[in-house]
Amino acid sequence: MTTTIYKTEAGRERIRRQYEEWLAHWPAPAERRTVPTRHGDTFVMVSGTENGPPVVLLHGSGGNTLTWMSTAGKLADRFRLFTVDLIGEPGMSAPTRPPLGSPAYAEWIDDVLDGLGLTEVQLVAASLGGWMAIDYVTRRPGRVSRLVLTVPGGIGRQRFGKTAMFFLGQLLGRKQPEPQSPQEKYVRMVFQHFRPRLFMPLFATERLRKLTLPLLVITGDQDELLDSRATRRRLAAAAPHAEVQVLPGVGHMLPDVTERIGGFLHD
């Protein structure tokens, strides 16, 4: 399903232009690829050591490949990194948004991996990307060997009132100080022109029990959008082997956790 994900065409162009400017500063030699899929063309930035183990990274709602710039710079000497722009988000992939819960996103990831020539990968995913990763791993056992989820959707319940406050307040700047860093200014600008997805369905416990692969989950105990205590509790019951790290005093926007991610991934 194709939808209007931008408020105006001018806004879309502004996001695209600034995205291109940021991509020019990617911290490692990289190749840009466009992978055709049955749900639209998908942009992928490929970087890192050519013979390293393949790691695919999926960002969250309102994000794009820039989410992983710092991570790519720190892991490029160990892994072959494939940072993917999700469809339906403010990157350079198609603006299509099939219903969450349909087979479409698993089909999409199948097509992306096939188009990149990848059979088995390690997967790192954040927020909405984490939701898609859980959906994929539980539909396609054996295709992902190791999974890292940061503030993943679909496990702990969503705080709907705070979700709206988070996007419309914190990111749009209402009752918030002016952004200081270029990164903060970019995020603020994106959400001035982009319509985010605000709802991620919860996975049934039976579905979470299918997460039998090595799994690291990182979340914050002050997450404004998702109930991180419920995330930990449900995983303890459904996937007790999972390593769950809850960062004290941290909300949905995590600090740099690349060291934790890199320590969990296999060379």
pLDDT, mean of each 10-residue run, the chain (267 residues):
84 96 96 98 98 97 96 98 98 97 97 98 98 98 97 94 51 53 87 93 98 98 96 98 98 96 96
In angstroms, the CA 104 to CA 36 distance is: 14
C-alpha distance from residue 151 to each of 32, 61, 65, 220 (Å): 27, 12, 17, 7
Q: What pLDDT was estimated at residue 165?
A: 52
Asked whether residue 161 is assigned to any structural domain, the reply reads: yes
Asked whether residue 50 is assigned to any structural domain, the reply reads: yes
Asked whether residue 173 is assigned to any structural domain, the reply reads: yes
In angstroms, the CA 247 to CA 61 distance is: 21
Q: Which residue has the tokens 């490949």?
A: 65
| CA-based nearest residue to 139, from 163, 117, 158, 113 | 113
Asked whether residue 254 is assigned to any structural domain, the reply reads: yes
| CA-based nearest residue to 88, from 96, 98, 78 | 96
Give the rounded distance of the alpha carbon of 6 from its chain centre.
19
Asked whether residue 4 is assigned to any structural domain, the reply reads: no
Q: What pLDDT was estimated at residue 160?
A: 72
Q: Count of domains in the chain?
A: 1
Asked whether residue 1 is assigned to any structural domain, the reply reads: no
Q: What pLDDT was estimated at residue 178?
A: 62
For residue 94, give the CATH number of its domain: 3.40.50.1820
Asked whether residue 2 is assigned to any structural domain, the reply reads: no
Asked whether residue 149 is assigned to any structural domain, the reply reads: yes
Which residue type does 19 have?
A: Y
Which pTM value belongs to this model?
A: 0.93
Torsion angle, alpha carbons of 261, 148, 50, 36, to 10: -140
Q: Which domain holds residue 137?
A: 9-264
- Cβ within 8 Å of residue 140, ≥6 positions away: 106, 109, 110
